[in-house]
Structure 1
Amino acid sequence: MTTISPAAPAVRTATSPQRTLPRSALFIASVLALDGLCHAVWATGLTWPASDEHHLSLAVLGFATSFGPGVVLPLAALLWTAAGLVVARGWLGRDHRFGWLWQLATLAVTIGVATRAAFGVVWAVVGFGAMPTVFAWINALAYTPLCMVMAVCGWRLLGAGRAGRRVWGRAVAAVVPALLVCGTLTAAYGFPPKTQPYDPQRALGAVESRYVETPVARFHYLKEGSGTPVVLLSPGASWVNSWLPQLEALKATHTVYVVDLPGQGFTSLKDHDFAFTLDGMTGAVDSFLDAVGVKSAALAGNSWSGGWATAYAQRHPERVSSLMLLAPTVLDEPDPTSWEMLKLPVVGRALTNLTVGSRSMTESAVRALFVHRERAAPELVDGFWAAGTRPDNVRSMYELEAGLDWSVTERALPRTTQPTLVIWGRQDTVVPVAQARELGVRLPQAQVHVLDQCGHALTLDCPDQVDALMTGFLRARQQ
């Protein structure tokens, strides 16, 4: 008799669960690692695919800033670390004892790329505007779509794992970018700075405020003295008060005009189609000179207005007998990053509104222009702040930063043949003093003076030295 025994139970061996890396984690980590590699390559000094660091920055960010090793190497390390944490999130999961770490890192990455995607959509809808053309197209065709895909992948990865917790990461990843973009739009368009009441005559004392009507603007200006004309253009984001020491020094031998151009000081725009560009600003100089009957003059400017004076002399050499340029922005070089960011649509407008609307931030910005901080008195700050809150002036800050093409002025420097006085503060924190030497080389008839213990606001920070140089320069022209 055959006995049939029941089949022996299968022997089960303990095996580790097979792990696979989700495609979402692989995609995010690959993009981050590749981005980190690009930053590491740029740290070597290579700027491929751009021709130089300046144009690389414009293509990658939309504004100019440093791409030196001290900046890009930490970013490369950060990107590689983020890529590793995203891989850990996908491979080991959130139940690992360090799962909270890579879950948090994945959340941060998702918020970051979702925010960038949202701003990219806003910039594409607003239009290319003054953004560099290369950046505008790359933003629309590459950066924004890529960030959208990464945000979706991150959102899916955050939800993988225990269902009870997945909703929080996803909710934060969706809400925070929306809040950031909506907050920026609100700051840009919802709450313009309140115009501060101010009587410019109070600060000018015995010097009389004057106004002249033109089709372009109702120009606010000062006029003192007699003799050959000298025209002083108010520094950018400032007003005629900045030139009072030089007005006093020059009026004994010259008819001195100090004028607020459109978007500056207490001049009011009348031309609603006025463009804050080099063409617009030089056209405004021409309009003012015609209105006050000045056929030819010595022309001076500080910072932006030094650039406008140079551009005007290049376009109308017959109307400019000589130039006096104080730390002028005439070279096609990056501004400080805080100014460069004003070039970004919406973001620049929001940053301007927040800065201009705050007296404390205005005071901080003004004081940073001085070495002798005690000369940035409260009443001086009040004038800067009040002028800056005027609607045309608010708009001019971000539109001028985006619209002034200094490459045109730089290329024409060898053909700028007027005798030129260049003055710079060695401690200038806005326009690097190294540019003084460059102008001395490129301008055919330039004499350059660098003043120690002087900042960017030369006319007020070091008035005695500036007065002496300007009066001496003009005296030599008359001999």
Structure 2
Amino acid sequence: MKIRRWTCRLALGLAALVATLFAIVLPVAYAWNPPGSNDRASYLDRIDSRYADTELARFHYTMTGQGSPVVLIAGGGLWQYSWREVIPVLARQHTVYAVDLPSQGYTELKRPGFTFDLPAMGEAIGTFLDAVDLKHAALVGHSWGGAWSLYFAEQHPERVDRLTLLDSPGLEAEKAPVTPLFQTPLLGELVTKLTTRDFYADSIRGTFQHKQLVTEEMIDQLWPQFSDPDNRDGFLALWRNLDYRLTDAGLAKVSAPTLVLWGGADEWLPANQAERLAARIPNATATVLPGCGHTVHEDCPAETIPLIENFLR
């Protein structure tokens, strides 16, 4: 009898503790929004920022060089700063557009209820192309930016001249190891909102094999845009809404010559996805760069950028 009473008291105590924790955690996860950084990326002073106003968003972009159009789309949690070494090389022969899509950089989303899934991000690419009067262009996308570009190329093959995918998910296959963390209700909100500058810096280092390249100056350029509350919300929504069954099912629809580049030391997505992805896309080739991480164009620019340049040429 005493044991039964003690068990009941313990259960009631644990229930009270759980209720108290939920009372504390729920407002943090769902009601509280941490303020964004007051810092300003100094990279903005080195570029000619342009804006394209549409019903969907006010797109922040740059346009550099002259020649056939190439549109660069950065990965999740990044912005066009990620292309700083790529732009001047490609601009020798192309008009290079580096654009921030919704959840990235300094683009302002206008449309309420934007779903942050593959169809929505594909629409965003098309909306931007229309806004800058591009009927077609070559697309270069990294990571999520590559997945969005791939989906757009599947749905609108007539608008994509060439397609370059850098460590880009597109198969219904292995996901990034942190995926369950962000996809779990409550936990995903907590992790996203409680991410500090240091934690964000560690995450960026995890996408590089050459860790020394992730400098304080780099984080100074990346952190302010990621810390923006709207960008954080979009970032979390993308973790939950991107469904690669859609891209996997449409791979045969891609008509553009396609180059798949992958870091052989990618810790986010296994490099064996490169050959598997290229094998499913008509007129595609895959190159795996040994000793390079997920952000392959920044981790190994000397190896990666000439491959992109030669392919687009």
> Aligned runs of 1:152-301 on 2, under 5 Å?
160-161=2-3, 169-200=10-41, 202-301=42-141
Q: Does 1:456 align with 2:289?
A: no
Instruction: In structure 1, give the amino acid aligned to 2:30.
Output: Y
For residue 239 of structure 1, report the CA deviation from its aligned partner: 0.4
For residue 429 of structure 1, report the CA deviation from its aligned partner: 0.9
Give the equivalent residue in structure 1 for 2:167.
Answer: 327
Q: Residues 239, 167 of structure 1: CA spacing in aligned structure 2 closer, same or farther, 3 A cutoff?
A: same
Contact in 1 for aligned 2:40/2:224 (Cα 8 Å)? no
Paired residue secondary structure (2:3): coil
> Aligned runs of 1:96-115 on 2, under 5 Å?
none
For residue 264 of structure 1, report the CA deviation from its aligned partner: 1.1
Q: Does 1:470 align with 2:308?
A: yes
Give the equivalent residue in structure 2 for 1:343.
Answer: 183
> Aligned runs of 1:58-77 on 2, under 5 Å?
none
Contact in 2 for aligned 1:330/1:409 (Cα 8 Å)? yes
Q: TM-score, normalised by structure 2?
A: 0.94
For 2:128 and 2:8, the matched residues in 1 are separated by: 63
Contact in 2 for aligned 1:327/1:424 (Cα 8 Å)? yes
**Which structure features the higher share of helix residues?**
1
**Which structure features the higher share of strand residues?**
2
Q: Does 1:313 align with 2:153?
A: yes
For residue 193 of structure 1, report the CA deviation from its aligned partner: 2.1
> Aligned runs of 1:109-148 on 2, under 5 Å?
none
Match of 2:274 among 433, 436, 449: 436
Contact in 2 for aligned 1:184/1:347 (Cα 8 Å)? no
Contact in 1 for aligned 2:177/2:268 (Cα 8 Å)? no
Alpha-carbon displacement from aligned partner over 1:251-292 (angstroms, at most 9, x marks no partner) = 010000000001111111111121111111011111111111
Paired residue secondary structure (2:307): helix
Paired residue secondary structure (2:259): strand
Identical aligned pairs, as a percentage?
A: 37
Alpha-carbon displacement from aligned partner over 1:222-257 (angstroms, at most 9, x marks no partner) = 110000000001211100000111101100100000
Query: Unaligned 5+ residue runs, structure 2?
Result: none
Paired residue secondary structure (2:178): helix
Runs of 4+ in structure 1 displaced over 4 angstroms?
Answer: 165-168
For residue 166 of structure 1, report the CA deviation from its aligned partner: 5.4
Q: Residues 387, 160 of structure 1: CA spacing in aligned structure 2 closer, same or farther, 3 A cutoff?
A: farther
Q: Does 1:360 align with 2:198?
A: yes
For residue 304 of structure 1, report the CA deviation from its aligned partner: 0.4
For 2:187 and 2:4, the matched residues in 1 are separated by: 38
Query: Unaligned 5+ residue runs, structure 1?
Result: 1-158
Bigger relative contact order, structure 1 or 2, given CA contacts below 8 A and separation 6+?
2
For 2:73 and 2:290, the matched residues in 1 are separated by: 24
For 2:299 and 2:167, the matched residues in 1 are separated by: 13
Q: TM-score, normalised by structure 1?
A: 0.63
RMSD of aligned alpha carbons:
1.8
Count of matched residue pairs:
313
